[in-house]
Amino acid sequence: MKLPAKKNDLDTPALLLDLAKLKRNIQKMADFFRDKPCKLRPHFKTPKTVEIAKLQLDAGAIGITCAQVSEAEVLVQAGIHDILIANEIVGRIKIKRLLKLLKKGADVKVAVDSAENIQDLARLAAKAGGTLGVLVDINVGLPRCGVAPERGVELARMIAKSASLRLRGIMGYEGHIVLSADRKLREEECRKSMAKLVSAKGLIEKDGHKVKIVSGGGTGTYYVTGTFPGVTEVQAGSYALMDTRYDQLGLGFEKAVTVMATVISKAFPPFIITDAGEKTMSIEFGLPQLIGVERAKLAMLSEEHGHILYEGTPPALQIGDRVEFYPSHICTTINLNDWLWVMDGEQVVDRWKIAARGLAQ
């Protein structure tokens, strides 16, 4: 298709990506890891966009992390083969889809935290004639998936006994602390979490099993996890695009995505209504941030509408004018949209499909 020439030629709501900011964010993270033993494996669950994953790989990332088999399918289709699914893949339907990726030459690894899942993976992988890489998921503080470090040994033994599974390493996500506004607390708790993860490595290796991969980390803790002795890779994702929630941590990355909306009503002062609502922008991390309108803020979202509330003199916004918002949570906002409009200033330079949008299986 022929691209619109300028930003204001786009219909709204529209997700705008500042290409220069994206590239600077990718380069900043790549530079951090360039001379370190630990490497970067960016998380695809944030951008869900193949073009961004390829830019990260070109900058030095060793592979890509994702959350679902469906995301891995998108990556493999695009020619990206070194993939960690940092999640438990449970059930015959998902496992069979996963094993098909091995037949396409992909080096896909998955997390496990139960004997039942290991048995199912081993049985179906043997039936399919493949060997699947597995990481033992260690719980390092987030009340989600993962076993205690000492239990990692028994799972590693099970994996090692299977001819169709190969123990590749361990992983643990310090998600309970990555967004803490208290930098000192965030760093201290992150080190405690990584100490638990690395202790699991020691226990498993003492039992006679090689642990090559020790994977963890997120955008809020990348600089701690990425320098912790024994950790081999970091799974940060939000850094490339950023949002207002992560921006509060002062990490030095730039907010590269805005949502552009159109003013559609001024009929009920002191509200100004736009055409971007909850179906375009997520709110679980708070309301998106209105950009550049004095004495006004986004007060609420309904399904199809954004409600801007102003104080005092009405802003000089007319029906049909455009406004922009910074997303509060970039991961879930991306998942509400089909396209990223790639911008160079006011110029539209490309349109990238959010290829894994809505893929939750």
Asked if the model's pLDDT at residue 336 lies above 90, the reply is yes
- The predicted pLDDT at position 4 comes to 87
Please give the sequence-ordered ranges of beta strands (E in DSSP) within the chain, or none if there are none: 14-18, 39-40, 64-66, 82-88, 107-112, 132-137, 165-172, 213-216, 233-234, 257-265, 271-274, 289-290, 296-301, 306-310, 322-326, 339-344, 347-353
Stretch 260-280: mean pLDDT: 98
Write out pLDDT tens, residues 33-57: 999 999 999 999 999 999 999 999 9
Query: What are 124-140's pLDDT values in tens digits?
Result: 999 999 999 999 999 99
Q: Please, what is the Cα angle at 84 between 81 and 85, to 5 degrees?
A: 115
User: Reduced to 3 states, what is the DSSP secondary structure of residue 265?
Assistant: strand
**Taking a C-beta distance cutoff of 8 angstroms, is the pair 322, 262 a contact?**
yes
Q: What is the pLDDT of residue 2?
A: 86
pLDDT digits (tens, 9 = 90+) for 242-253: 999 999 999 999
**By three-state DSSP, how is residue 38 classified?**
coil
Distance of alpha carbon 14 from alpha carbon 36, whole angstroms: 38
Per DSSP bridges, beta strands 306-310 and 296-301 are antiparallel
Q: How many angstroms separate the Cα of 143 from the Cα of each of 150, 173, 300, 316?
A: 17, 10, 31, 48
| Res. 13 pLDDT band, cuts 50 70 90 | very high
Measured between its terminal Cα atoms, the distance across the chain in Å is 30
Distance (Å, rounded) from C-alpha 193 to C-alpha 236? 16
Q: Where are the alpha helices (DSSP H) in 88-169?
A: 92-103, 115-128, 152-161
Residue 21: count other Cβ atoms within 10 Å of its Cβ: 18
For position 51, what pLDDT does the model report?
Answer: 98
Q: What tens digit of pLDDT does each residue of 208-226 get? A: 999 999 999 999 999 999 9
Count of Cβ atoms closer than 10 Å to residue 127 Cβ: 11
Q: Tell me, what's the pLDDT at 1?
A: 72
303-327 pLDDT, tens digit each: 999 999 999 999 999 999 999 999 9
What secondary structure does DSSP assign to 211-241, as a single string? Answer: --EEEE--TTTHHHHTTSTT--EE---GGGT
Contacts of 59 (CB under 8 A, 6+ apart): 26, 27, 29, 30
CB 11 within 8 A of CB 315: no
Q: Which residues contact 72 (CB under 8 A, 6 or more apart)?
A: 66, 83, 85, 98, 101, 106, 108
pLDDT recorded at residue 227: 98
Interacting residues of 357 by C-beta distance below 8 A, sequence separation 6+: 48, 334, 335, 336, 337, 338
Q: Give the orientation angle of helix 50-58 with respect to helix 19-33, to 10 degrees.
A: 40
Calculate the alpha carbon distances from 297 to 163, 234, 265, 270 in Å: 59, 36, 16, 11
Cβ atoms of 32 and 325 within 8 Å: the answer is: no
C-alpha closest to that of 83 among 50, 126, 119: 50
pLDDT in tens, 156-188: 999 999 999 999 999 999 999 999 999 999 999
Range 338-361 average pLDDT: 96
Beta pairing partners, 112: 136
pLDDT, tens digit (0-9, with 9 covering 90-100), for 94-134: 999 999 999 999 999 999 999 999 999 999 999 999 999 99
All domains of the chain, ordered by start, with CATH?
Answer: 7-13+252-353 (2.40.37.20), 81-236 (3.20.20.10)
Q: Is the model more confident about 2 or about 50?
A: 50
pLDDT tens, residue by residue, 58-77: 999 999 999 999 999 999 99
